[in-house]
Structure 1
């Protein structure tokens, strides 16, 4: 078994890659194992912003708190949004009354037209009034929906389950729309996580050829990984990579590879360094 150690994360990899390519690769009859430096990343992570502008009234979570999707993280002051909802409800009630009145007037005009006591002009006017009343009612209904949405937006909720990271909001702060501002919360889910490492693309092409795989996805199914801590403690065995980047890093000639790993105990944390041992399975034997 021939073992190479490749540093797949960080700068300064070009010299190491060049040295490896200069040496060449010797494949044994059993297996060739490549070892890479990897890093843990979150699979599910969400940046939380406020869609409403206003003064923060409550902050209900702190750094490291575990939250479910939909958990209230913070609330803004609601006095103005509530008034806007009340005004919109009153306007919609008036529009509904006018619409009902327009329906009744048209019905009366139609009866009078049938008996010959109302003109066609009056009938046309009644139909037009009904159309206008219906349009006004729809507009007021939409206005109320918008006001209620604005009120709902004053309650900031977690979009996913996970842990609160780097809260940047406090009671009394003014939240404003700004694309340049950082998120007010980050929610990080620790299960599962993904292991990220980088493989010299020159080696990847050779591996694909030797495995007989015709596509990158087909090739990934032949790869088996072991993941260890930097101290050598085994974390997982037999992992199959789940995805690979579509581009090659121009400075290093490497391509990024991801593998998903269950982490129900939450031991693995984003940013953590790990060691990744990679072998390719071919025709029932481990070869690289």
Structure 2
């Protein structure tokens, strides 16, 4: 016999409520699974943008001349101070002149003696000449007198040379500026013994009417430059470069623009880089040798696609976007990036102007997912122009 089970009204009510709650939860989960996410979408645009490449640079004057003594002696006078502006030919140092004045005096005396001997030899030749012609004395005496005259004449020339050399050394005791510029450090003080053998110069004069900014490009940057710069030869490419800026250590741009003038003939193997030189006018002397900065080279990109960086994601060292396809399905597309301007990537391949891409919520998407696009306005007119 089967036993009959009797359910109380209370149990039946609880069972019914539980069943309804379970069905409601299952229905909510199914609805959530089929709900399409609403995500912001932007339409990529094409624009013309100027970007910049910056390279660390060291500044030097157009001419940097080490001032070294050409004679030895005690430093008697220093006419300038460190950092002073000097003109070409302006006195800088005076070396004790006493020794060199004595040398000039001795050389002058030697010259006077040589001239006296020359006159004596000339008189002897004059005296013997008619005697030889009249056969009074042998011509051997005349020839000896003529030889003595020639020797005396040579001694005069030698004495003149010695006097000239002594005067040159005396003049060298006053050291003048070979170029206009600014005085560097003064390591020697008055009373110091200086000479040609000293390793350290008396000072350095820097001509900074124009300033040279030396910077280097890596092999990658150099290849990129040769491929993208207009012009046939390297000289032509450099000549067609636009004016460049100099960013100083405080982050501010120097008031006057410069131009790239030279490129080194070969790569530095130890650094893996090649050197360039930019020239900047410096008539006011605001720039000095030895300071540092950054040379900023502009590059104009015409008709490039701009993509906000926040609308991209990386996968295996490549940058992708989720583009909107038919039926609002998303498809990941790799991008070929040619530069960066502010918060935007500059794209050459991967997407086209007018394509729509997902701006936010990329971490929740997979290829083939369907979304409900929410149009999002973008403004690429304020693209920052820094590479």
Do they superpose with TM above 0.5? yes
Aligned to 1:277, what secondary structure does the other structure show? strand
Identify the match of residue 103 of structure 2 among 84, 103, 107.
Answer: 84
TM-score w.r.t. the length of structure 2 is 0.60
Separation in 1, partners of 2:230, 2:142: 80
Identify the match of residue 242 of structure 1 among 249, 253, 261.
Answer: 261
How many residues are treated as equivalent by the alignment?
A: 255
1:101 is aligned to 2:120: yes
Identify the match of residue 144 of structure 2 among 88, 103, 125.
Answer: 125
Aligned to 1:65: 84
Query: 1:30 Cα deviation (Å)?
Result: 6.3
Separation in 1, partners of 2:232, 2:119: 69
Aligned to 1:262: 281
Once the two structures are superposed, what CA deviation does each residue of 1:27-50 show, in whole Å capped at 9, x if it has no partner? x97666422222322111111111
Separation in 2, partners of 1:30, 1:65: 45
Segments of 5+ residues of structure 2 without an aligned counterpart are 1-46, 302-337, 340-387
Query: 1:200 Cα deviation (Å)?
Result: 2.0
Separation in 1, partners of 2:140, 2:191: 61
Aligned to 2:225: 207
Identify the match of residue 64 of structure 2 among 42, 45, 58.
Answer: 45
Aligned to 2:211: 193
Separation in 1, partners of 2:51, 2:189: 55
Q: Cα RMSD over matched residues?
A: 2.6
Greater relative contact order (CA < 8 Å, ≥ 6 in sequence):
1
Aligned to 2:329: none
Identify the match of residue 235 of structure 2 among 210, 217, 220.
Answer: 217
Aligned to 1:235, what secondary structure does the other structure show? coil
Q: Is the 8 A contact 1:228 1:236 kept in 2?
A: no
Q: Equivalent residues in 2 for 1:112-191 (5 A)? A: 112-179=131-198, 181-191=199-209
Aligned to 1:132, what secondary structure does the other structure show? helix
Using a 3 Å threshold, how does the CA distance of structure 1 residues 170 and 199 change in structure 2: closer, same or farther? Answer: same
Q: Is the 8 A contact 2:216 2:276 kept in 1?
A: yes
Query: 1:212 Cα deviation (Å)?
Result: 6.1
